Amino acid sequence: MARAPSRTSRSRPARSPWRRRLGVALKTLLALAVLAVGALVVAVYIARSQLPSFESLKSSPNGQMVRVHAADGSVLVSLGPSYGQWLSYDRIPAVMTDATVAVEDRRFRSHLGVDPIGIVRSVGVRYERGHWVQGGSTITQQLARTVFLNNQKKFGRKFREAILALALERKFSKDQILELYLNKVYYGGGAYGIDAASRKFFGHGASQLSLTEAAVIAGLVKAPSNYSPTADAEAAVGRAGVVIQQMVRNGFITSSQAAAADPNDVRLAPAPRQNSVRYFTDWALPQLELLIDETERPLEVWTTLDPAMQRAADEAVRANAPAGTQGALVALDRDGSVRAMVGGTDYVTSNYNRATKAQRQPGSAFKLFVYLSALEAGRTPEDREIDEPVTIDGWSPRNDSRRFSGEVTLRTAFAFSLNTIAAKLGYAVGFQTVADMARRFGITTAVNTHPSMVLGTSEVRVIDMTRAFASVGNKGVAVTPFGITRVTAEGEEIYRHEVDRSHVLVAPNVAAQMIDLLQTTVNTGTGRAAQIGRPVAGKTGTTTSSKDGWFLGFSSGLTTGVWMGRDDAKPVGGLHGGTAPARAFAQFMRQAVANRPIEQFDTQVTLPEAQLEPDAESYYGAPDNSSFVGDDGLPIDPGAAADPQAPVFGPERPVVQPVPRARDDDAGQDDGADPRDAPSQAPAQRLDQDWLDRVTGRPQRDQARDQGRDRAAPRGQPPRAPSGDTSGDRPYQ
């Protein structure tokens, strides 16, 4: 007999399938939530265990800062991330912490590192606006991103950021997190931390921040590039007003305090000059890679630059450079320290450093090496040469005055930049010897050995030419330019420059004679515009068609080189070494040496034997280094026959290779040769005054000198041209 179902089983209603599924889903979600929370807890505590200590986080800047100081200790420029003084929490002004919490994370003191309410609010704004306006990140999350992550807007990064924020909250107190945040967050302009930002924008440390200044800094975190006072002062002030209102709304300040705090009254510190100073720092700082191997600790770099001299140099170049031209200036002290460097008229529009990189022809300024070679070979400033037409290997130099002066001393020839005399001297000592002298004195560019090289056809750099003149002014001892004196890292000195004064380039008497010639150029020759009321020695230089103008000289231990011209090397009307460059030199040097004692040179200036009219470097505008031109100033064919009346050197008329004329005290010295070894050989010819007299058909030296006294022009007037030169019957133009 079948058994009837019990009452209990008949009364239990059957469960619907959807309710069973819902229950399973809830249980699953609960299990997953428990697992997620467990995983989160594990992840947080793993992250916490791997976090650095508080002290480690304090001492780990995000990059290397380099702060460059001038010779007087003032800061020229800060490069890389800038970190100010670390301020502990109790030293941070309350207005700074209040302003930061009010505008960045008003529930900072209550959340666990992540603010769910802030996230919901951020999502709501995103839905209303159609794009992300605020991220809902807490101060702790921002700290985690600053120290450990990046700013990529990806979910994976946000998840890691949340884990790290929770870990930070578990390891550090709220005050410690705020201390780390305020000392590490980026505030724009390269400034990390409130102290660096305060010094950059207001000129003082963060411990002295006022309410309005704190509001300005707190408002920068949202968008440092947009609200930076140096980029947009109006936007920074407007953002500060928002911060102050947030402080009122969150009870940090009263309405009356807010009314008294006007962001428009904030006085911003003037931005450091980034103009000509950057030419110097761009040149000096790359040298750090060769001097030190520190790549992590912040560096303090102490340099040789004199701010007052730098301002004077900048003004001198700008005031004197002809319209449409560029200018460069380098000033070296007697030990090689660079006191001023200008690489162009405006760094902002052109950061190309013409003082250290540009290669331009120096014109007659290159004669420094020609005369140094001749003086070292035994010539003296009182020696005499004949200024007359001359051809060397098909090249016929001309004087810029288009005249020839006859017999003159080397002093006169140098003072008035007579090209024919320079050509003769270069041939006498050898063009290779002149090139070697230039390299000896620091010319690092290629130097050709063509005859025209004596007039400056090889390209040089301003800093190299200035170095050469400085070495002459240093009595023949090498001067090596340098810009960095010492480097410190966190108070530890890791480099100090040592000046080498042991490298002698020429004998002191050779340097003294060269200084004698250079003085004459400034006192009576082409460099008269460079006079500054105290002893000055220097030389002008002008290239073909006035493409380049130079003046280089020294006084009171300071050597300055000035160049002017166009970057495209086009002619500049009226540009000569004795005009704009010499005037810029004088304007700069008057200020640069004003507080230095007047120094007399070892040799007193000796005036030329007659006042010749200066060459075109001062007045005419014709080239002083033209090659292959005839006596009439017209171009000639290098292969054409030379003027039969002019002395010819080179393969066109074979001559015995000349040797430098010996000094008077060398006369009669035994050179070790026995004259009986070659009784039939004619004596070797020497390129001295007697030889030139014989070639040109002029009277012998002593006879010509006696006759010259009879027909000498009154002092201050040019002498007559030598006989046979009909142009000597009329005065120079």
Tell me the pLDDT tens digit for each residue of 52-66: 888 888 876 556 778
pLDDT one-digit tens code per residue, 119-170: 777 666 555 655 444 556 888 988 888 888 765 555 566 778 888 888 888 8
Looking at per-residue pLDDT, the higher value among 242 and 709 belongs to 242
Q: What is the pLDDT of residue 331?
A: 98
Least confident among 81-85, 475-479, 630-634:
630-634
What does the alpha-carbon distance between residue 611 and residue 5 come to, in Å, rounded to a whole number?
A: 145
Q: Could you tell me if 555 and 536 are in contact, meaning their C-beta atoms sit under 8 angstroms apart? A: yes
pLDDT one-digit tens code per residue, 496-555: 999 999 999 999 999 999 999 999 999 989 999 999 999 999 999 999 889 999 999 999
Estimate the share of the chain in helix, then strand, then coil, as percent rounded to the nearest 5.
45, 10, 45
Q: Is the pLDDT of residue 653 over 60?
A: no
Other CB atoms within 10 Å distance of the CB of residue 332 = 30
Q: In terms of DSSP bridges, do strands 66-69 and 299-303 run parallel, antiparallel, or are they unpaired?
A: parallel
What does the alpha-carbon distance between residue 273 and residue 281 come to, in Å, rounded to a whole number?
A: 12
pLDDT grade for 263, boundaries at 50, 70 and 90: confident
Beta-ladder partners of 558: 333, 555
Q: Which tokens belong to 434?
A: 């002149």
Give me the mean pLDDT over the 457-471 stretch: 98
Most confidently predicted of 62-71, 513-522, 663-672: 513-522
Listed in sequence order, the DSSP H helices in 554-614 are 580-592
Q: Return all residues near 410 (Cβ < 8 A) that are at least 6 apart.
A: 371, 374, 379, 380, 381, 382, 383, 384, 385, 421, 425, 517
Q: What is the pLDDT of residue 3?
A: 57
> What mean pLDDT is reported for the chain?
79
What does the alpha-carbon distance between residue 329 and residue 462 come to, in Å, rounded to a whole number?
A: 7
What does the alpha-carbon distance between residue 446 and residue 298 come to, in Å, rounded to a whole number?
A: 39
Query: If we measure between CA atoms, which residue out of 487, 485, 78 comes closest to residue 301?
Result: 487
Q: Which tokens belong to 255?
A: 């309405």
Looking at per-residue pLDDT, the higher value among 373 and 651 belongs to 373
Per cent of the chain over pLDDT 90 is 50
